[in-house]
Structure 1
Amino acid sequence: MQYFVVMIDYGRRGREAVVDPEMTRRDVVARIASGEYSNVSFIHEIVDRSVADVTADIMSEAALPEIDGRDADLQAVRLDHLRDLRKHEQV
């Protein structure tokens, strides 16, 4: 059995441990990146009977979204830049 415990700190209102056995690592990262989980105190990954603090790893994953550049049209970006330069030359 594997699951994550996300401890959220609400300040004076207290803390809440979010534990959902159906939630995957990807789900935790997505919820942090979207802002659904903020003020995270720690994230523990429970696997069988061992506990690992994965806070730093998951927070860094959530801060750096993966960007798939395979479909990017880099030539169009270059041509847009040249068009902007021509506008400034005409002024």
Structure 2
Amino acid sequence: MQYFVVMIDYGRRGREAIVDPELTRREVVSRVASGEYTNVSFIHEIAGCSVEDVTDDILSEAGLPEIPLTGAELQANTLDHVRDRRKHEPV
């Protein structure tokens, strides 16, 4: 059995893993290219007992450029991490 796991990152709203055994590689590429899957964190291909990260391959097949994180995004990630750590501090 072979299937794909597409992890979508919604920022502060959380993440969503899309797992559909009926999706083919071509359909995943098509959905990424059409914009149906945006903010993709990673795409894993599960085949039998092995897992392979195919994110870069599928994004390049879909024709999307790889966009590095900017300074503002890195700062936002740090602030989110600090905020999350404060939530778990003893009161």
Q: Same fold (TM over 0.5)?
A: yes
1:35 to 2:35 alignment: yes
Aligned residues: 64
1:24-73 Cα shifts (integer Å, max 9, x gaps): 00000000000000000000000000000000000000017xxxxxxxxx
1:4-24 Cα shifts (integer Å, max 9, x gaps): 000000000000000000000
Aligned to 1:73: none
Task: Note the aligned Cα RMSD (angstroms).
Answer: 0.9
List structure 1 runs of 4+ shifted beyond 3 angstroms. Answer: none
Partner Cα separation in structure 2 for residue 6 and residue 30 of structure 1: 13
Aligned to 1:13: 13
Partner Cα separation in structure 2 for residue 33 and residue 54 of structure 1: 15
Partner Cα separation in structure 2 for residue 53 and residue 4 of structure 1: 10
Q: For structure 2, which runs of at least 5 residues remain unmatched after alignment?
A: 65-91
The normalised TM-score by structure 1 is 0.69
Q: For structure 1, which runs of at least 5 residues remain unmatched after alignment?
A: 65-91
1:62 to 2:51 alignment: no
**Residue type at the aligned position of 1:5:** V
Percent identity, please.
Answer: 80
The normalised TM-score by structure 2 is 0.69
Partner Cα separation in structure 2 for residue 18 and residue 3 of structure 1: 11
Aligned to 2:48: 48
- Asked which structure has the greater CA Rg, the reply is 1
